[in-house]
Amino acid sequence: MASTASRTGQGSQPALVGQKTSHYRWKELGLLIIPFMILLLEMFQLILVTNADPQSTLTAKNLPTIQSLIPALGLIAALLGTNIFLSVFYRKADQMLLPLVGLLSGLSVLMSTRLGPDLNPPDPALGSRQLLWVLLGLVICMITIVALRNMAWLERYKYSIALLGVVLVGITLVHSLHANLNSPTHDQLNIGPLNFQPSELLKICIVIFFAAYLSENLNMVARGNLQLGNLRLPPLRQLIPLLLMLMLALIIFLGVRELGLALLIYGIYVCMLYLGSGRITYVLGSLILFIAFGFIGYLLFGYVRARFAVVTTNVVNWNAQSQALYDAPGGSYQVVQGLIALASGGILGAGFGLGHPAGQFFVPVVQSDMIFTALGEEFGLVGLFAIIGIYLFIIYRGYRIAMDATTHFNQLLAAGLTSIFALQTLIIAAGNMNFLPLTGIPLPFLSYGGSSMIGNYIIIGILLRISYNTAREREGLV
């Protein structure tokens, strides 16, 4: 018996060692090497472009110092710290999301550092502030994972979360009362030195409510027993809350006069309704309503007509009408300048730090609303395809987490939150390329701004928590 136990102990020791070494998230760490290398190389290049004398030769004295690389090194340390935190406490969480969003966040810090000194007026500290927002976002992401140990409370308090969303809309409406009815206003509140966008929390609240409400009334919403012509709708008891959330988008459109935010919230509504019911008729009916109300808004508000007029700008065959729209206040100047910047980038781009998105080809608000054009000018069409590919990977992983989830609530929540990334990326990229009216919503993880960065990392924290809970449930650990 003793010899058998001894042999068993000796034989099991390598397995235990192997089990311990497998606890680390090696796949995630390996993937993080790619953004680490890109951050260091691009930071190295930016310093050379900024400080090098074109008439002097490159020597060891001209090379960047360790101190000048601190922003990139600081972000690398933060991502490594997050990797260690997840490896210690949440090893089973998805291992692809952090490298993907870390790369986009790093590009955001680099672009803010590069664009800040060229803005009008210059803002040399822009990159440092964006780095602080990314670091804060990573911390809040970890706090979100820890705080959501029991996801059931989100489902239980869905009406309280919906009420929070209504309060955020109310605050935004009050803030917009001073604005001209024919001019757009952004959902931005100034709290001391900080700028806060209620919409960044509002969209998360809407998805949580829809995920909880639809999972609770899944059969009634999917079946539908209220006949309206050829359209079968859910009973009034289930239909009224859905219509109230639909009215939320219309209130934002009419009251806040923010076309992009209304489009985003309406898109979330349609996505969640389809995900919860699987009925394409709901989607088609919602789109018809959106077109109808959009046409009414087009007739009522001058700024909506101006936004759609910009889309019709003929940049190739420039004429007097194009010039008049270009020179008009709130006209096509911003979009046309962005298109010029995109065109100047060509296939391969001018090179990081060598473009003129805030200089020769001045693009207003290039650091946030028009960041897509700045990336296109300096990284070219190839770089934009790579960035869009990163977004597609994030969306794929989000939907993969949703498909693997074991409860309807977690499935709808993960899919709805992922849809936010898809919709925002589509709306702002299409607006920058003049396929859709330009809106003021940020490009996830790339646009400058603290509210957007924190809101996006809250979503990543929720997705990581769902993936962790799913893995434990499937292994029978909970």
Q: For 164-180, what is each residue's pLDDT tens digit? A: 877 877 776 676 655 55
Residue 304 has pLDDT above 80, yes or no: no
Q: How confident is the model at residue 264 (pLDDT cuts 50, 70, 90)?
A: confident
CA distance 367 to 142: 27
What is the per-residue pLDDT for 379? 93
User: To 10 degrees, what angle do helices 97-115 and 26-51 make?
Assistant: 10
Using a 10 angstrom Cβ sphere, with 0-12 exposed, 13-18 middle and 19 or more buried, the burial of residue 240 is exposed
What is the per-residue pLDDT for 387? 95
Residue 451 has pLDDT above 70, yes or no: yes
Residue 223 has pLDDT above 70, yes or no: no
Average pLDDT over residues 200-222: 82
Residue 161 has pLDDT above 90, yes or no: no
Q: How confident is the model at residue 253 (pLDDT cuts 50, 70, 90)?
A: low
Average pLDDT over residues 406-429: 93
Is residue 366 within 8 Å of residue 358, measured between CB atoms? yes
Is residue 288 within 8 Å of residue 297, measured between CB atoms? no
Average pLDDT over residues 114-118: 86
* 52-107 pLDDT, tens digit each: 655 555 555 656 666 667 778 889 999 999 999 999 999 999 999 999 999 999 99
Structure tokens at 134: 């990314």
Residue 121 has pLDDT above 50, yes or no: yes
Radius of gyration of the chain (CA): 25
What is the per-residue pLDDT for 15? 38
Closest CA to 372 of 398, 354, 410, 345: 345
What is residue 227's three-state secondary structure? strand
Residue 153 has pLDDT above 90, yes or no: no
Q: By mean pLDDT, which of 88-102, 313-327, 354-368, 373-387 is the weakest?
A: 354-368
CA distance 271 to 206: 12
Q: How confident is the model at residue 455 (pLDDT cuts 50, 70, 90)?
A: very high
What is the per-residue pLDDT for 6? 40
Residue 4 has pLDDT above 60, yes or no: no
Average pLDDT over residues 41-58: 71
* 274-283 pLDDT, tens digit each: 888 777 877 8
Closest CA to 451 of 255, 243, 212, 172: 172
Average pLDDT, the chain: 81
CA distance 312 to 347: 25
What percent of the chain is predicted at pLDDT more than 70? 78
* 25-41 pLDDT, tens digit each: 889 999 999 999 998 88
Average pLDDT over residues 143-160: 89
pTM to 2 decimals? 0.87
Determine the residue type at 162: A
Structure tokens at 404: 């693997």
Residues 6+ apart with CB under 8 A from 476: none
pLDDT, greater one: 293 or 392: 392
Closest CA to 108 of 75, 82, 85, 81: 75
pLDDT, greater one: 323 or 460: 460
Residue 149 has pLDDT above 90, yes or no: no
Is residue 455 within 8 Å of residue 203, measured between CB atoms? yes
Residue 23 has pLDDT above 80, yes or no: no
**Residue corresponding to tokens 């009419």:** 254
pLDDT, greater one: 137 or 12: 137
- The H or E element spanning position 228 is strand 226-228
Residue 205 has pLDDT above 70, yes or no: yes
Q: How confident is the model at residue 7 (pLDDT cuts 50, 70, 90)?
A: very low
What is the per-residue pLDDT for 398? 96
Structure tokens at 188: 């931005």
* 227-245 pLDDT, tens digit each: 555 566 666 666 777 777 6
Residue 13 has pLDDT above 50, yes or no: no
What is the per-residue pLDDT for 132? 93
